[in-house]
Amino acid sequence: MAKIYEDLSLIIKRSRLTFIILVIVIFLVMAFYWKIQIFDYKKYLKMSEANYLRSLPSPAPRGLIYDRQKIILADNRPSFKVSMLKQSLKNSYQTIERVSGLLNLRPDELKARTERYSWLQSFEPVVIKDNLKLDEVAVIEGRKEEFPELRLQVEPRRYYPFGQTAAHVLGYLQEVSAEEIKGSSQRKWRGGEMVGKAALEKQYDDYLTGQDGQLIETVDSLGRSMGEVNRIEPVKGKDLILSIDLDLQKRAEELLQGKEGAIVVLDPGTGECLVWASSPSYDPNRFISRFSPDEWMSIMNDPAGPLENRVIRGLYSPGSIFKIVTALTALQTGLISERTAFFCSGSINLYGKDFTCWFKPGHGNLDLAEAIKNSCNIYFYQLGRSLNIDIIANYARSLGLGKITGVDMPGEKEGLVPSTDWKRKSQGEAWYPGETISVAIGQGPVLVTPLQIAAMTACLANRGIKVKPRLTLVDNQTELKREKADLRPEIFEKVIEGMWRSVNDGGTGHGAYQPGFDICGKTGSTQVISREQAEKMVQRGKEALKTHSWFSGFAPRYQPQIVVTILVEFGGLGGQTAAPMAGEIFKAYREKYVRQTNLQGN
């Protein structure tokens, strides 16, 4: 008998399978909603609240910077800034047009600022204008309903009350770059934050930076503030007390006015820097505003180089100041004693070449102290002929040349003390004995910074004990790290005798003389242009100052209290320019500290 119906067993099996799958899907959907509503409700409640709660940072005041007398060198002042929330830039063109008109900004300038932080999250504010005037604040406040995307805030703004004074010590602030924000793993920057970019503002940025607060407020659908919910107050950064003496700093900068150069004053006992002056200078207040790349490049390309910190970044030949190193090397190796004498006729022929003394008539017969007093080239040429360059280099490094001093200031350069190994590696050539002649008087490839010379002079004053220069006060004497130079202590006094005569007995450093202060010093003059260039300058009616002018010394001779180092670019002879300037610094120090101490003692 034939089948009169179809076999539905396959359909029934598939229906059952479909039903099972559907039940499982419904179960999973219900489980998912249960998880959202029951298990994860706190998470989604916070997300929901975020739709109407806005968190904004409250900038912390930066720590103040004082000089050693507790005079404020870097202060904070209240200032208004306006920010724009990134979430408001969905219709960016119209928004930028409206906001630029309100704030009197060029649309392209405003767009560049917003694009600079395009990677920030939408709820984060972007600073678009700061240091607002009161009339600008009034306009923004009066039209805040029309511009809910703008946020007006008061922030502590850095202020340097003495302008250019000590600018190369303090440094300046600038807006943190996008690269710094993205690349920082140790610190979380916020867009528009002002951070230390140079000198001590950079060196102690973490120390001076406070902890930002937070403002949480409710907002409506347009982003307008509806009231404050919570506020966490910011915490001010730590204050910094410097070793700088503002009175001496001002006097040093007065002496450098109109010149290019540097002055360093140290306490040889602690290494504390009382003066750190670099000229020309700049006003760090100028950097507080968020200026454009074009404005920045105009400062960077200034031919006078006002941003260059010549104290630690200016590299110069030391000239005759290096004769101190040559003399100590000769004494240490036993090549000479303090009684060893040479005759100076004004010139000498060495290795087939004529070498001249700066004093063309010649100094006659001189021992070591008289050679230092008169800065006789011929005497030190004779020493250079008998010394090995590597031995000179070894003791120069022991005195602190050719390496950083370790001062608490970023950007210090090492300088250069040449040796046979240095020349072979850098130039692929052997060192010639005739080159040692030039190095013996501080010419040739020797390069130093003014701070290195000051530190070396402090080592001399301490009879071989080195101290590390520093710009903050020493709270505990045990913090001081004193090292001994690799030289016999007794040989220092033999060199110091010549330095004392240089200032007090009619030598090249006599311009630094101050009655009753027992100053010891050494001058230096470094040739920086050729005789042909100097002649061309004269032909053009310009004074041919073809030398840098050096002086470095300390006072008093015994139990020294102060080291003064001065470098004046194109200043001429050290005895004519740098030495008298040093005398003024010694005088100012003595009037303030020595006489004051005597009066208190009486």
Active site (catalytic) residues = 320
Token output for 30: 């219900």
Phi-psi region of 131 (alpha: psi -120 to 50; beta: other; left: phi over 0): left
Spatial distance between the Cα atoms of 31 and 48, rounded to a whole number of angstroms:
21
Phi-psi region of 264 (alpha: psi -120 to 50; beta: other; left: phi over 0): beta
DSSP string, 88-141: GGTTHHHHHHHHHHHHT--HHHHHHHHHHTTTS-TTSEEEEEES--HHHHHHHH
Spatial distance between the Cα atoms of 199 and 195, rounded to a whole number of angstroms:
12
Distant-in-sequence, close-in-space partners of 21: CB < 8 Å, separation ≥ 6 = none
Query: In the Cβ-directed half-sphere of 496, how many Cα atoms lie within 13 Å?
Result: 23
Torsion of CA 267, 270, 272, 275, to 10 degrees: 10
Cβ–Cβ < 8 Å for 407, 452: no
Distant-in-sequence, close-in-space partners of 290: CB < 8 Å, separation ≥ 6 = 113, 127, 130, 175, 192
Phi-psi region of 163 (alpha: psi -120 to 50; beta: other; left: phi over 0): left
Chain position carrying tokens 């005195």: 399
Token output for 500: 């004392």
Helix pair 450-461, 323-332: axis angle to 10 deg: 40
Cβ–Cβ < 8 Å for 565, 256: no
| CA angle (280, 284, 290) in 5-degree steps | 130
C-alpha gyration radius of the chain: 35
How many of the other CB atoms lie within 10 Å of CB of 429?
Answer: 9
User: Measured between alpha carbons, how far is residue 7 from residues 10, 11, 12, 337 in Å?
Assistant: 8, 9, 10, 126
Cβ–Cβ < 8 Å for 309, 284: no
- φ/ψ of residue 358, rounded to 5: -65, -25
One-letter identity of residue 16: R
User: Measured between alpha carbons, how far is residue 458 from residues 220, 310, 338 in Å?
Assistant: 67, 19, 21
- The alpha helices in 399-509, defined as continuous H runs, are 420-427, 433-440, 450-461, 490-504
Helix pair 134-142, 92-103: axis angle to 10 deg: 140
- φ/ψ of residue 303, rounded to 5: -60, -25
Phi-psi region of 51 (alpha: psi -120 to 50; beta: other; left: phi over 0): alpha
Spatial distance between the Cα atoms of 95 and 492, rounded to a whole number of angstroms:
73
